[in-house]
Structure formats: structure tokens, C-alpha cells
């Protein structure tokens, strides 16, 4: 069933005029995840005399489905928000036409697409986030620290003071990897979005596959890790919003889960939502096992006015648009020359994010979803006192 598309236009007004002249309109198709800087679009209209009518779908996959269904009579001139999972389909079906943006040389060259069929606009590093306040050790008592320093001073030269492990404030009990979340000590702490219903959930599923592989003989294949996570009471929420703002302890004061699938940028987003800037980040991203997803913009094949569409693409990678463009997940601009925000600088954190495997396409995603569901269903159906292996051989979906 085709989802109703909300359409609105960024308009300009002319004072002391009873009839406005005819104004061109360029149609922009995007999805609900993007926060488009309206002020920048208004400035674009004032500069060019072209209004921007924005059409929205629910997610990147729905955007591509609509483009494919309407390829003979395009509903949009420009598309924004094609993600890495949909890249192969968009190119193979010829849904966009090449265009080289004026300031393309300012973009990260690693994000560029051959033949300039799409222009990178933002990146999202999908990572596990943890509630840092829960896992952060309690600050040591000043009097206790003074006692320890006095004891050290009384030791003979070269001797060291033995501190019991459970009293060492430098020992952290926080998880540092996805596999840590399979350990009993982190049971019932992890929540993920359902990949059957949520785009971020699909990113996490692909990340598991890419990092752990699909060797059925390996005890650490992605399906084995998934089963271990689920066996450790991993919660599957309907959407990332349900996971983060419903179940995660830093997203909801009533939440009970201290680890959640989010992004490397989400800790800063969380800090920005607070009334006052916290001294320490309340959430932190695990720096390893992150997956980089790129979002692209492009001119739709068959666009009514390719020149006007190209000018809108140019605007999307301008500093003004890039600085404010993003989504509620904490994505980052594709330009490599922008000054980061004050909070990004204050809470600078470097993660190791792998680029998405170029072989990923919709067929593979469908197969991975079948494997995901089989692992979950197999575990739910198994008697509690058995220790069956994970299901690794499946019929073609």
C-alpha cells in the first residue's frame, strides 16, 4: 500500500504585491530520518527564485521503492537520503543521472561514487552505545585516597602498595565489544531495533555479518554471536526510537537497558538534549565494530529541469547546508573541511568504522533477515535445558 506523502514547499513572499510572478518548483524526495535545514532552503529560494517542494517517505528503502515504481513518470527531481544499502539498486536500475557538484572536491574522496551518479551528503557510524554513568566507577573517597598516599610514602624504596582488584578505581566493568554483551555479567542489558521493521536494525544486522562473517563452522560467526546475544536476554524493540528513548536508561529515565544500538554521534546528540552541558558524556560509543553508512543525494532520471536540480545538489553540500543537515541518529556531514561543533570538540571520540561491503544488496539483506529470524525463532522454540547449535543452513529466502 502506497504511503501518503506529505508535501510542503519553502516559499518566499513579496511585500506590497497583489500577484506574485510565476516561480519554478523543484521536487525533493527524502525520508523521515532527515532533518532538512529549512532556513537554507529559504535562502536557496531567495537566491534562485525556485521553490522546493519536499516529499517524504518513511525510510531509504521506501524512497527507492517509490523511485522505481514511478521511473516512467518521476514524482521528484532530486532525491536525498539514498543509503549504502540501497546504492547498488539505485545505480543498477538507472534511477539517477550523473552530476558533478560544484564543490565536490570538498567532499571526502573515500565517499565518492563512480561516474558521479550520487553525491555523498552525510555519514553515520553505527555503533553500540552504553550508559557511561552506570559503568563509570564511583569517584574515590578523598580521605581514602589520602590514606593510600600516606601508606605509599611509608613504603621502603622500590616497594609497591598492593591494592585489591575490587578496590582499584581504574578497573572498569563496562563492556568494550559486542561479544562482551554475550557474557553473563551483561545479561538483560542490551536492546536493539528489529531489523525486520527498522533501518538502524538492518545496519546492525549487516554489521554483525560483516564483522564476524558467515562461516557455519565458526563458533564466532555472526549467527552464533546473535544467538549468544539473544540467549543473554538481548531485547528486540520495534524501532530505534523505541530502543533508545523507551528502553535505554539514558534515553528514558524509566528504561532498564544500559546498552543500545545507536551511532558514534549519538552521545553528543544526547548531551545536546540536556538543559545544561554535562562535564562528562553520559553515553559513550564502543569504538570498535562500528559500520559506516553513507547517505547520498542525486538527480532523478527524467527530472523536469536538470539544471535546477543540480543547483539544489550544489546547495546540499554547501557549508551552510552541511553544518545543519543531519538526522536524529547523529550523522555527520560529508564535507571534510567543516569546523566541528563546540560539543563535538568537547567530547571528541574516535571510532574505528568499517565501510559497508560493496557486495551488500537487497537480495543479501533478505537472506540475512531470514537467518536472523531463523536464529531467534529456533532459540525461542528450543527447550530451555538444551544447548542446540545455531541454525546456519537455510533454504533460499
SS3 sequence, the chain? CCCCCCEEEECCCCCCCCCCCCCEEEEEEEECCEECCHHHHHHHHHHHCEEEEEEEECCHHHHHHHHHHCCCCCCCCEEEEEEHHHHHHHHHCCCEECCCCCCHHHECHHHCCHHHCCEEEEEEEEEEEEEHHHHCCCCCCHHHHHHHHHHHHCCCCCCCCCCCHHHCCCCCCCCCCCHHHHCHHHCCCEEEECCCCCHHHHHHHHHHHHHHCCCCCCCCCHHHHHHHHHHCCCEEECCHHHHHHHHECCCCCCCCECEEEEECCHHHHHHHCCCCCCCCCCEEECCCCEEEEEEEEEEECCCCCHHHHHHHHHHHCCHHHHHHCEECCCCEECECCCCCCHHHHHCCCCCCEEECCCCCCHHHHHHHHHHHHHHHHHHHHCCCCCCCCCCCCCCCC
**Which domains does the chain possess?**
7-13+22-122+293-338 (3.40.190.10)
pLDDT given at position 183: 96
Provide the grid cell at 9: 514547499
The neighbour count for residue 274, using CB atoms within 10 Å, is 9
Burial of 73 (0-12, 13-18, 19+ CB in 10 A): exposed
The neighbour count for residue 342, using CB atoms within 10 Å, is 9
For the whole model, what pTM was predicted? 0.81
Low-confidence ranges of the chain (pLDDT < 70): 1-23, 137-145, 158-159, 161-172, 273, 275, 278, 326-328, 339-349, 384-397
pLDDT given at position 271: 73
Amino acid at each position: 500500500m502506497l504511503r501518503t506523502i506529505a508535501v510542503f514547499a519553502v516559499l518566499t513572499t513579496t511585500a506590497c504585491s497583489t500577484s506574485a510572478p510565476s516561480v519554478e518548483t523543484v521536487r525533493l524526495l527524502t525520508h523521515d530520518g532527515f532533518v532538512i535545514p529549512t532556513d537554507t532552503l529559504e535562502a536557496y529560494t531567495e537566491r534562485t527564485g525556485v521553490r522546493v517542494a519536499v516529499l517524504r517517505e518513511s525510510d531509504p528503502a521506501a524512497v527507492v521503492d517509490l523511485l522505481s515504481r514511478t521511473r516512467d513518470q518521476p514524482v521528484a527531481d532530486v532525491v536525498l537520503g539514498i543509503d549504502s544499502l540501497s546504492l547498488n539498486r539505485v545505480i543498477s536500475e538507472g534511477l539517477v543521472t550523473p552530476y558533478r557538484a560544484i564543490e565536490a572536491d570538498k567532499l571526502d574522496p573515500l565517499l565518492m561514487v563512480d561516474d558521479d551518479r550520487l553525491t555523498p551528503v552525510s555519514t553515520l557510524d553505527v555503533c553500540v552505545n552504553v550508559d557511561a554513568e552506570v559503568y563509570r566507577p564511583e569517584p574515590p573517597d578523598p580521605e581514602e585516597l589520602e590514606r593510600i598516599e600516606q601508606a605509599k610514602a611509608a613504603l621502603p624504596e622500590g616497594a609497591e602498595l598492593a591494592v585489591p582488584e575490587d578496590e582499584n578505581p581504574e578497573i572498569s566493568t563496562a563492556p568494550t565489544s559486542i561479544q562482551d554483551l554475550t557474557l553473563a555479567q551483561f545479561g538483560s542489558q542490551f536492546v536493539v531495533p528489529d531489523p525486520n521493521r527498522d533501518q538502524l536494525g538492518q545496519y546492525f544486522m549487516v554489521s554483525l555479518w560483516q564483522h564476524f562473517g558467515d562461516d557455519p563452522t565458526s563458533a564466532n560467526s555472526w549467527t552464533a554471536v546473535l544467538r549468544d546475544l539473544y540467549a543473554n536476554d538481548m531485547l528486540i524493540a520495534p524501532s530505534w526510537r523505541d530502543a533508545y528513548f523507551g528502553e535505554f536508561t539514558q534515553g528514558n529515565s524509566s528504561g532498564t537497558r544500559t546498552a543500545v544500538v545507536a551511532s558514534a554521534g549519538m552521545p553528543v546528540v544526547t548531551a545536546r538534549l540536556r538543559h545544561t552541558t554535562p562535564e562528562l558524556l553520559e553515553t559513550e560509543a564502543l569504538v570498535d565494530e562500528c559500520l559506516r553508512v553513507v547517505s547520498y543525494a542525486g538527480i532523478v532520471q527524467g527530472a523536469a529541469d536538470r539544471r535546477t536540480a543540480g543547483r539544489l545538489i550544489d546547495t546540499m553540500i554547501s557549508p551552510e547546508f552541511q553544518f545543519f543537515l543531519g538526522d536524529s541518529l547523529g550523522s555527520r556531514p560529508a564535507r571534510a573541511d567543516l569546523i566541528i561543533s563546540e560539543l563535538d570538540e568537547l567530547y571528541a571520540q574516535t571510532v574505528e568504522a568499517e565501510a559497508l561491503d560493496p557486495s551488500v544488496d537487497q537480495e543479501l539483506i533478505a537472506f540475512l533477515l531470514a537467518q536472523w529470524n531463523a536464529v531467534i525463532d529456533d532459540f525461542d522454540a528450543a527447550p530451555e535445558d538444551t544447548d542446540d547449535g545455531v541454525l546456519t543452513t537455510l533454504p533460499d529466502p
